Structure 1
Amino acid sequence: MYDVVLLTLGSERDAPGGGCGDGGACCSGAAEAAPEKTGERCETPRVPVLACAEALTARGARVETVTARSDAEIDEVLARLDAPPRPDGLTWPDPDGKTRLIVATASDAQLRAVVRRLVRRYAPPPSRRPADLAGNRTVPDLPTIGVLPLDPARSGGQRDLAAQLGLPRDPAAVAAAVLDGTARRLDLLRNDGGSVTLDGALLGAADDQGRPLHWRGRVEVDDAVLSDGEDPILACAIGNAGGYAQLDGLPLLTGPDPTDGVVEVAVAVPVVTRSALGRKKIRFEVRRARGRAVAVIPRDEKVPFLDDGAEGELSRKRSWWTEPGAWAVWTS
């Protein structure tokens, strides 16, 4: 039978000096995952965590619940997924290990925080790239993760990543998937800022009245140029899955698929036209491309963005590239 670790991310306020990297952004939503607090401390796990642990125990699994409040505490859990030492000295995941991991998530940003640490742990330095690593990858097959949404009822229009992938949300169903289900491998976006993207990123923002703020930047997908830096851009969507497929009803991404090995990118720009009577009209043109990698070079000082729900600002070139089938989830 399996040893199962149920990992919850605590609020960054619970850890001296913050905690999950990405400038603290990866812990966005962490406070939502702590329903009962004493002062600044997260004292009790959510009900779904307890229910999942009970379902696992009833099936004979050895269960441990862990609340991690820092990168170091996440890494301590992930170390249990290591394979025996390799002759080349690289740290590698164990494909046949008897320890399984479930991440209890209050947001996609929290799930990303754990996958980000998996990449940091198992990605070999370029100078030590092993021969058994696939030519289109910089990381090996990462360990399969069970995903336990901390709001089991959330689905439908809210469309978190678990809903998009059709993963089980009920704690007992999550337990069954981890013990008896199959691994579904998914593409991963890495970026040159040192982080990862599971769902997608949306570059752009609105003012206090909800009106879009235009920005300028060069957007390239492989050899295709979607903006040369002169266009006023309403939004740029970088899609692995479909979380940012639409913006206020405007279709951006047409068919994002986290298993197709490519990233889909869309740029929306305003186009001014005039009617037969000379009246000015504004419509939005959406330019799309698919490819292995995308680069965004902002011309403006700072461009706000959301990446898997985590907020940030882009002030210099950022590139994302696809790692086909790099990570995986347990599904029924």
Structure 2
Amino acid sequence: MSDHDQLLVIVDPVARRSDGESVRIAKDVLCAAAETKICLPDSPEEFTRALARRGSRRPVVVGDDRALLRTVTLLHRERELAQGALSVVPIGAPGSLEVARSLGVPPGAVAAARTVVDGVARRLDLLVDDGDGVVLGGVRIPATPGPAAVAAPPPATMWDTCRTLVRTLVRTVPAQGGLRTHRLRVEADGVLLSDVDEPVEAVTVRSLGGIAEVVVRPPHAPPLRAEARTLTVSGPDFRYHADSRTSPLVRARTWTVREGAWSLTLPPVPAGAGEVWGGTPDRP
């Protein structure tokens, strides 16, 4: 880190409430290593204002995956994501730090804070959807059951017939093992991988090296794999999981890979170790 590097450390309120001691440790390490301005926003609005007023300071987010995603989303929508590297010190509940870990940020306040100071800015891909939302990790569209239909009780005189029918069905209908499927149209760069007349158990997509790796999993058949710059999924209402979030119901969604769209400070790659996270070092 340059002697003239200045940091804007934005401490997410959730991190302060969940693990104040780790927050204190991270602040101590950062303040001892660089000229640091600490911001303690109490709301998303204050978080946004602090980031907008960063000036030439390098932003450092102290918080969980939601805080990191909020920062990347704000910078993306202001078209300022490519202007400089972003750093993060992951602090929060264990299940809320999975995206940061998957990107290569070391766990622990001390190790992560030292990475902010001594790490290397590496360019990473971004998945951007047609609603201008961003995905840092991957997307998964799992099949989910629809609401169960509740039938009105039959008249009393029909109970014997119903019980006989149920016993017959239990004996003759094989168990399906709880198999759940979707009816989705999946297109990778305009090439049709699956249509609504073909059931699928799940669709997953992740970006690596400027390309989206798409996997469509039909039931009782090998998965279909493809590489593409753009993926479009449409069909009956569905939800998808992205960066530990679940979307509202949608009828269609398109994701596009933006290669090297943002930079994250990560530990240096040891000589001869190769690329671990699929990113590339920033060039001066």
TM bucket by the smaller chain?
A: 0.7 to 0.9
Residue 122 of structure 1 aligns to a residue in which SS? coil
2:88 — aligned with what?
A: 147
Identical residues among aligned pairs (%): 29
Contact 1:183/1:329 (CA < 8 Å) preserved in 2? yes
Distance 1:66 1:35, change over 3 A: closer
Using the size of structure 1 for normalisation, the TM-score is 0.63
Separation in structure 2 between the aligned mates of residue 287 and residue 310 of structure 1, nearest angstrom: 25
Q: Determine whether 1:184 maps to 2:122.
A: yes
What is the aligned counterpart of 2:46 among 51, 73, 79? 73
Separation in structure 1 between the aligned mates of residue 8 and residue 38 of structure 2, nearest angstrom: 5
What is the 5 A alignment of 1:101-120?
101-106=59-64, 108-120=65-77
Shift of 1:34: 5.4
What is the aligned counterpart of 1:287 among 224, 234, 241? 224
Residue 234 of structure 2 aligns to a residue in which SS? strand
1:86 — aligned with what?
A: none
Residue 132 of structure 2 aligns to a residue in which SS? coil
Shift of 1:170: 2.7
Shift of 1:212: 4.8
What is the 5 A alignment of 1:175-324?
175-207=113-145, 211-240=178-207, 257=208, 260-270=209-219, 283-298=220-235, 300=236, 302-324=237-259
Structure ranking higher in helix proportion: 2
| Bigger Cα Rg | 2
Q: Provide Cα deviations, 1:5-47, integer angstroms capped at 9, x if missing partner.
A: 222444xxxxxxxxxxxxxxxxxxx5xx4536xxxxxxxx632
Separation in structure 2 between the aligned mates of residue 326 and residue 148 of structure 1, nearest angstrom: 20
2:164 — aligned with what?
A: none
Contact 2:16/2:23 (CA < 8 Å) preserved in 1? no
Distance 1:220 1:101, change over 3 A: same
What is the 5 A alignment of 1:20-35?
33=15, 35=17
Distance 1:306 1:186, change over 3 A: same
Unaligned runs of 5+ in 1: 11-29, 37-44, 83-96, 124-139, 241-256, 271-282
Contact 2:115/2:266 (CA < 8 Å) preserved in 1? yes
Q: CA RMSD in A?
A: 2.7
Q: Which structure has more RCO (C-alpha within 8 Å, separation ≥ 6)?
A: 2
Task: Extract structure 1 runs of 4+ deviating beyond 6 A.
Answer: none
Shift of 1:75: 2.7
Separation in structure 1 between the aligned mates of residue 10 and residue 178 of structure 2, nearest angstrom: 39
Using the size of structure 2 for normalisation, the TM-score is 0.73
| Structure 1 range deviating more: 223-232 or 159-168 | 159-168
Unaligned runs of 5+ in 2: 148-176, 268-284
| Structure 1 range deviating more: 175-184 or 226-235 | 175-184
